[in-house]
Structure 1
Amino acid sequence: MTVKANGFLQGCLPEELKKVLRSVASELGDVIDDMDSIQVVPLKGAMTNEVYQINWPLNDKRDLFRKVLVRIYGEGVDLFFNRDDEVQTFECISKHGQGPRLLGRFSDGRVEEFIHARTLSAADLRDPDVSALIASKLREFHNLEMPGPKNVLLWNRIRNWLKEARSLCILKDAKEFRLDALEEEICVLEEELTRDDQAIGFCHNDLQYGNIMMDEETRSITIIDYEYASYNPVAYDIANHFCEMAANYHTETPHILDYGAYPGLEERKRFVRNYLSSGVLFGPPHILTLKGPT
């Protein structure tokens, strides 16, 4: 996937974005007299978008600045998620007081509240104190009431991705990745893992360290980037977070997970205990009981 060339690196903001920024500034009680006074700072870490910190001065001395985040949508991401659904999800989560506020929109992206917090690292996920905070925030996220049907999206999404992979792969690659066998595996997993009493909640579905921010002073956690968010079994979201503990996206092979780093049984139990001890239960406590490996 790619990101549209928009001239940001040359310091030239699109006219549409300038108009939106002026409107955002006005809503915040600011005035941008000189667009040349705006500072553009590229931010690293985003995988499906380009993100920039935008600063404009709040006084004549230019020693105080307002900060917002501008997100430029990547191209080709429609293979993985629906952008319109993602924008609707972002707006709704923002209204719930979760994550950054939506400040403005333009054709290629949006303007968001700048979160004054640091993005977590792979090592942070293994810190027991930080992990407990994440578990509590994830439980809060799962309890969000979102519009639309509360149907499990997981299996249809995997099948859609498989369909896209088949259409894009040459025969040699399809055989190497055993794409023909995956449909059967999906059906087996769906049958084995689907339960009538499973807890369904609004899941993030991509809870890797780059999508979690923490305020160092208040120790509050903010979950960001909702491209894949949907209703799913909450146990799946927790299990996916465990898999993300085996990932490090700041290496030369970010797509290869190190399952030697997968959390052990006691670490997984601790996370689930912290999760269950916060918020309101979805149903009987046995629903999210963690069993040991067989």
Structure 2
Amino acid sequence: MGAASKICKNDAMDLPSPPPTSNSTSIPTSTSTSDVPYSHLTVDTSLSVPEMSPRVIELCKDLFKDWSKLDSSHFHVETVSGGITNLLLKVSVKKDSGDTESVTVRLYGPNTDYVINRERELHAIKYLSAAGFGAKLLAVFGNGMVQSFIKARTLTPADMKNPELAAEIAKELHRFHQVEISGSKEPQLWNDIFKFYERASVLEFDDSEKQKKYQTISFKEIYDEAVDLKELTGLLNSPVVYAHNDLLCGNIMVNDEEGKLYFIDFEYGSYNYRGFDIGNHFNEYAGYDCDYNLYPNKDEQYHFLRHYLQPDKPDMAPVKDLDALYVETNTYMLASHIFWALWALIQAKMSPLNFDYLEYFFLRYNEFKKQKHDCCLLARSFLQGS
């Protein structure tokens, strides 16, 4: 769960609207990363927000010409969200005209480049932004980016069970999967899983108790499971789409007044299998506490899948297509557990945060083993009957 950071990756946040373009001519509207301002400055994420505020203000002055001569007293910096993958800061600027505009300064978490391809993320953002997804990219700096605000609230695990919201998420995911990103369209799932495997299987922990627990893991078993699952999922012919890959509640926002839904944070986005993106999303119903009793039942899944397959006429979704996507989703759901389990092992070594990632590995991998028999049997029975 890139989302795994789910566990504490994104706290609820209420983001204001993007600054009016008429009052922020210094902020570029282009979404191309080559056109937006760039600064080599970095911000030390180990500092408290009050301690890092002067550096953040200096950064904003360096990036945006219209702000460069403003006194620091015109700036206000506060935390919007904090977690494993990044820290979001709200920077509000009161201009001499009396107008106030705000931006989001997003600071990458320590060592996250080890599991996140930032170049791939920045490349995709310009296409996703142009298609109306996420916040607009305004600038890039040494260890983060500046984006526009979105006026919305972050969803909670309870929201995921709301049939109306589930339907809207399904429709938006259908639209997301239509976005074309230039470059290679090779699905990244198994490349990433085996890359994570290579890194996770050779770790050494300074903490003797962690090392002892780590040594109980059978990496040969994990490798064999991944190879078998890759072979089985390959028989399902899941379409390759540009996938979010981390669609937890913390990465979905909604403006309740306007009924507008937003997907945010595309750090793990890549071309990938449709079934993985949906199956991973269903795993996210478990919330930060990984309560897999909340995993959507068959009726709830079919409700979602109908709106995904036929956004305008969900009741017209062909039963054959629904059944096939149900099997596809619940088979790739297993891959989601392996992916985030291996991810958690790397985080256990690399992340400075006080979270038991090692235990999280066992939560995900044990859930994989619990679900494997029934889900694989469902897939093989479907394939035999096809």
Q: TM-score range by the shorter chain?
A: 0.7 to 0.9
Structure 2 match to 1:258: 291
Counterpart of 2:274 (choices 229, 234, 239) is 234
Counterpart of 1:183 (choices 219, 223, 245) is 223
Give the 3 Å change call, closer, same or farther, for CA 128–277 of structure 1 in structure 2. Answer: same
Counterpart of 2:146 (choices 102, 111, 115) is 111
Structure 1 match to 2:248: 208
Q: Is the contact made by 2:127 and 2:179 (CA closer than 8 Å) also made in structure 1?
A: no
Give the 3 Å change call, closer, same or farther, for CA 122–183 of structure 1 in structure 2. Answer: same
**In structure 1, distance between residues paired with 2:235 and 2:175:** 23
Q: CA deviation at 1:122?
A: 0.9
**CA RMSD, Structure 1 to Structure 2 (Å):** 2.6
Structure 2 match to 1:225: 265
**If the length of structure 2 is used for normalisation, what is the TM-score?**
0.66
Structure 2 match to 1:12: 54
**In structure 1, distance between residues paired with 2:56 and 2:138:** 17
**In structure 1, distance between residues paired with 2:325 and 2:49:** 49
Q: CA deviation at 1:178?
A: 2.2
Counterpart of 2:177 (choices 112, 118, 142) is 142
2:325 equivalent to 1:289 = yes
Structure 2 match to 1:247: 287
Q: SS of the counterpart of 2:306?
A: helix
Structure 2 match to 1:54: 91
Give CA-to-partner distance per residue, 1:72-121, whole Å, 9 cap, x none: 11121122121122122223322333211111111121110011111111
State the percentage of identical aligned residues. 32
**In structure 2, distance between residues paired with 1:124 and 1:31:** 42
Decide which structure has greater helix share.
2
**In structure 2, distance between residues paired with 1:79 and 1:169:** 16
Q: Is the contact made by 1:139 and 1:279 (CA closer than 8 Å) also made in structure 2?
A: no
2:75 equivalent to 1:38 = yes
Q: Is the contact made by 1:7 and 1:14 (CA closer than 8 Å) also made in structure 2?
A: no
Higher relative contact order (CA 8 A, sep 6+): 2
Q: SS of the counterpart of 1:9?
A: helix
Q: Is the contact made by 1:122 and 1:209 (CA closer than 8 Å) also made in structure 2?
A: yes
Which segment is superposed worse, 167-176 or 184-193? Answer: 167-176
Q: CA deviation at 1:20?
A: 3.9
**If the length of structure 1 is used for normalisation, what is the TM-score?**
0.85
Structure 2 match to 1:277: 310
**In structure 2, distance between residues paired with 1:20 and 1:262:** 46
Q: CA deviation at 1:18?
A: 3.0
**In structure 1, distance between residues paired with 2:215 and 2:247:** 30
Q: How many residues align?
A: 276
**In structure 2, distance between residues paired with 1:122 and 1:43:** 19
User: Which stretches in structure 1 are left out of the alignment for 5+ residues?
Assistant: 249-253
